Amino acid sequence: MATVASLYRRVLPSPPAVDFTSPDGKRLFSEALEGGTMEGFFSLASCFQTQSEPAFCGLASLAVVLNALAIDPGRRWKGPWRWFDESMLDCCEPLDKIKAHGITFGKVACLAHCSGADVRPFRANQVTVDDLRRHLIHCTSSRDCHLIASYHRRHLKQTGTGHFSPIGGYHAGQDMALILDVACFKYPPHWVPLALLWEAMNTIDESTGLLRGFMLISSHNAAPSALYTVSCRDESWISMARYCVKNLPDLLKAESLDNVPTLLSHVIDSLPANAGSLIKWVVEVRRKDEDGPCLSKEEKERLFVKENVLQQVRDTKLFMIVHDLQCARIQCCNRSSSSEDSITRIAASVCCQGAAMLSGNLASRKTCFQGVQANGDGANTVNSGSVVSEGNEQGVDMLLPMSPCSMSSCNSNLDNEIIKYPSSTDALTVLLLALHPSTWLGIINERLKAEFQTLVSTDNLPDVLKFEIFHLRRQLCYLKTCKEKEYEDPVPVPPSGP
């Protein structure tokens, strides 16, 4: 096997680029700063980082922008610090897959959305260079919005193929954009003509057959999900979208549906096999503290919110009906009362907001966690266990929502059972609430339609749960409208370098 020669950076092709640190680059910076189109540069520079892997340009670009926007990830990075890092951005695609094949435009936008940002993606066929210029001027004139460009290096006479980088500034007089290249080991930050950057964006990504483009990322006004979130790491969301659009409307037209339990039974029976992996519960995973699972005041407050949401789900009439149906199925099948429902057990894996449990890929995971009381407070529960990564075992703590008791009609002995995680019945209830209200308009029986619409209505839900449902509904809508084409037939293409 031939040995690949090592490299220390490359010479920046100039023209067309102008090195940021060159005399001309400094002049452009000074003039753009005076013109007011370098405002976003300082927050980006304060949080700038080099991509840690040749194919991690999309992850590094997004981590820089999320941190520049001061978006709180809501979970630890290392030690006590909450901070976005590439290793935490794996909810839409496993890190090992990104490392091998890179990441697509749509999935970077998806990651930004899942991380709590407001995202407006634009492919090159949806806008013009004038639109790009207008959006770039807006972003570089404020600190509240940043632009990530997806482009092909060949048009800038650079080596490599598809690449992502944040844009740090704009020079109106010479119509040039400042690329803050996250592959610092290869090229320094550099100015390029905006028209040329547009040409580099207006290229096809061979892995999807879709054009590249740019995305505007800003802080989202709404709070992030407290307990439930949509997983977009696999194709569960697209199968559910097809189910809701094609299968469910036909199912609801059945004349045999004359009461709520019958309707729900039909819905549950016809769910896609991977429906349970669509709605995940949010868990914070941290390295195990040396002094035991002590919770800070802030951690206690977040855990209290999670438990509050879980209890509010279980207080709904819809949950009671779904729970009774599931229990009846368990009894009918002579299954153990400790078995999970007909949907895949939600608590079997960590959700996307708690994934990448430490800071690297997990080759294997010990899933047997033992619950312990934190700080002697009965209301707070931390599950302590361990994970195995590349042969090394690391202790971890998981902050889990805990329902005060099991509401089971299956077995009277379970009345006081402690539930330390949301069950799949909880997740199914939340999914039904999160589906768009128009989903149920196809019910033929008018009386049943009115009764069921009352059950799934968010009008009388507590505010915390209502916000959670609306958050999930927005996620479902976003995935359906922005990413469906990209997930149909992706063709993995090994990256040739950053």
Any idea which residues carry the catalytic annotation?
A: 57, 163, 181
The terminus-to-terminus CA distance of the chain in angstroms comes to: 23
> What tokens were used for 423?
């069950």
Place of tokens 């634009």: 122
What's the CA dihedral at 415, 382, 365, 96 to 10 degrees?
120
Is the CB of residue 111 less than 8 Å from the CB of residue 356? no
Q: What are phi and psi of 146, to 5 degrees?
A: -135, 155
CA-wise closest residue to 454 among 260, 228, 254, 310: 260
Is the CB of residue 228 less than 8 Å from the CB of residue 280? yes
Is the CB of residue 414 less than 8 Å from the CB of residue 406? yes
The answer for 334, left when phi > 0, alpha when psi is -120 to 50, beta otherwise, is: left
What's at 18, amino acid-wise?
V
Element (H or E) spanning 191, and its range? strand 190-193
Residue 468: burial class (beta carbons within 10 Å; 0-12, 13-18, 19+): buried
**CA distances for 433 relative to 106, 316, 341, 436, 442, angstroms:** 27, 10, 18, 8, 16
Which residues does 214 contact at the CB level (< 8 Å), separation at least 6? 121, 122, 132, 135, 147, 148, 149, 150, 167, 201
Could you say which DSSP state residue 81 is in? B
- Measured CA to CA, the distance from residue 144 to residue 39 in angstroms comes to 9
Output the CA torsion sign for 98, 101, 102, 103.
negative
Give the ranges where 396-462 is alpha helix by DSSP (H): 424-434, 446-456
